[in-house]
Amino acid sequence: MLLLWAMLGLVSPACAHDLPVLYDWDSANGKVLRARMSAGADFWQLSPVFATQETQTYCAVASAVTVLNALPLSRPVDPAYAPYPFFTQRNFFSAEVTRLISPQTVLAQGMTRDEMVQALTLHGVQAHSVAGDSLSEAALRELLHQALGDDGRFVLANYLRAELGQVGGGHWSVLAAYDEISDRVLILDVAKYKYPPVWVDLATLRRAIATRDATSGKARGLVIVRAGR
């Protein structure tokens, strides 16, 4: 794979053994990858509604809202935007979701995979989670190859930033594209004030989602979302 990247001009043969974990969106390598995103990549549906988390612990909420606004759903009206319906990080906490997990709890400790699935389901979508430590690289590659295309599904990732060489702990963001040639996945980071969208190699992403979440005691992982119950 490294030799192939070198042949394609993504890296030079001399440095192919020392590839960076991440390619930033506007880096030279990032521009190569984004230029060959397919017309069916999830990126094109997610980018118009891509949300920035409103607090430093609302990464799960911003990720969920991004996906909900990208799906063909009946949306609630936030008074700030009335009369136009739109999911926001305020109206995400419907009465039903608040009974499951309150905004104060999310402010204090974020959301687990199970809480994310339950909250999304309360908004009328199909959601299921996949434990990161249950996926081999091959299984993750196949899942993302299928789900990040134009098949009506979206993927939320819960991962440990440190595994990506970033500052911070557990984090949620939205996955937007898979590049088969480089075996890299595009993360739309909802902490846009902190990090740009990045392309991460699949092996590193797998390690990051297989880490243990201290709140749940379970592995982090993925949540797959689609319209309908």
Q: How many CA atoms lie within 13 A of 227 on its CB side?
A: 10
Residue 21 has a pLDDT of 82
Domain assignment of residue 15, yes or no: no
The reply to whether 14 falls in a domain is: no
Lookup: tokens for 99: 């009974």
Residues of the chain with pLDDT under 50: 1-19
> How far is Cα 128 from Cα 221, in angstroms, rounded to an integer?
11
Residues 223 and 113 sit within 8 Å (Cβ to Cβ): yes
Please report whether residue 44 resides in a domain. yes
Has residue 7 been placed in a domain? no
Q: Which of these, 35, 46, 40, 76, lies nearest to 156 by C-alpha position?
A: 46
CATH number, domain containing residue 29: 3.90.70.30
57 forms beta bridges with none
Provide the domain count of the chain: 1
Is residue 162 assigned to a domain?
yes
Cis before 83? omega within 30: yes
Residue 5 lies in a domain: no
Question: For residue 20, what pLDDT is reported?
Answer: 55
SS3 182: coil
The pLDDT value given to residue 2: 39
Question: Which residue range forms the structural domain that includes residue 195?
Answer: 20-227
> What span, in angstroms and rounded, lies between the C-alpha atoms of 15 and 172?
31
Contact by Cβ (8 Å): 103, 113: no
> Is there a domain that residue 108 lies in?
yes
pLDDT at 1: 42
| pTM (two decimals) | 0.90
Q: Is residue 206 part of a domain?
A: yes
Query: What does the alpha-carbon distance between residue 54 and residue 57 come to, in Å, rounded to a whole number?
Result: 8
